[in-house]
Amino acid sequence: MLDYRIFTFLKLCDVMNYRVTAKQLNMTQPAVTQHIQFLEQEYGCKLFSYNGKKLSKTEAGKILENYARSADYNENSIRKKLSVPNKVKISVGATKTIGDYVINKQVLRLLQRGDIELSLIVDNTEHLLNQLNHKELDIALIEGFFDKRSYDYKLFKKELFVGICAKEHPFAGKAVPLQELFKENIIIREQGSGTRAIFEQLLLEQNYSLDCFTRLTCISSFELIKELVLNYCGISFVYDAIAKSNKNLGVFTIKHIEVTREFNFVYLKNTGADKFTDFFEII
pLDDT in tens for each of the 283 residues of the chain? Answer: 788 999 999 999 999 999 999 999 999 999 999 999 999 999 999 999 998 889 999 999 999 999 999 999 998 888 877 876 678 889 999 999 999 999 999 999 999 988 888 999 999 899 999 999 999 999 999 987 899 999 999 999 999 999 999 999 999 999 999 999 999 999 999 998 888 999 999 999 999 999 999 999 999 999 999 999 999 999 999 999 999 999 999 999 999 999 999 999 999 999 989 999 998 887 5
pLDDT of residue 120: 96
Q: Final residue of a domain: which of 47, 71, 95?
A: 71
Give the CATH number for residue 48: 1.10.10.10
Q: In terms of domains, do 26 and 89 share one?
A: no
What is the structure's pLDDT at 283?
59
Domain boundary among 13, 48, 71: 71
Task: State which residues form the domain around 39.
Answer: 4-71
CATH at 176: 3.40.190.290
66 and 147 both lie in a single domain:
no
Question: Are 199 and 65 members of one domain?
Answer: no
Residues 142, 85 share a domain: yes
Q: What integer pLDDT is reported at residue 2 of this predicted model?
A: 83
DSSP string of the chain, one letter each residue? ---HHHHHHHHHHHH--HHHHHHHTT--HHHHHHHHHHHHHHHTS--EEEETTEEEE-HHHHHHHHHHHHHHHHHHHHHHHHHSTTSEEEEEEE-HHHHHHTSHHHHHHHHT-TTEEEEEEE--HHHHHHHHHTTS-SEEEEES---TTTSEEEEEEEEEEEEEEETTSTTTTSEE-HHHHTTSEEEE--TT-HHHHHHHHHHHHTT--GGGSSEEEE-S-HHHHHHHHHTTS-BEEEEHHHHTT-TTEEEEEETTB--EEEEEEEE-TTSSGGGGGGGG---
| Per-residue confidence (pLDDT) for residue 38, from 0 to 100 | 94
According to the model, what pLDDT value does residue 82 have?
A: 80
119 and 241 both lie in a single domain: no
Answer yes or no: do 268 and 148 share one domain.
Answer: yes
Q: Are residues 171 and 255 in the same domain?
A: yes
CATH of the domain at 151: 3.40.190.10
> Is there a single domain that holds both residue 132 and residue 182?
no
Count of domains for the chain: 3
pLDDT reported for residue 173: 96
Q: What pLDDT is attached to residue 12? A: 96
End residue of a domain, out of 54, 71, 88: 71
Say what the pLDDT of residue 145 is: 84
pTM equals 0.75
pLDDT (0 to 100) of residue 84:
67
Q: What is the pLDDT of residue 144?
A: 78
Residues 35 and 8 in one domain: yes
Q: What is the pLDDT of residue 62?
A: 94
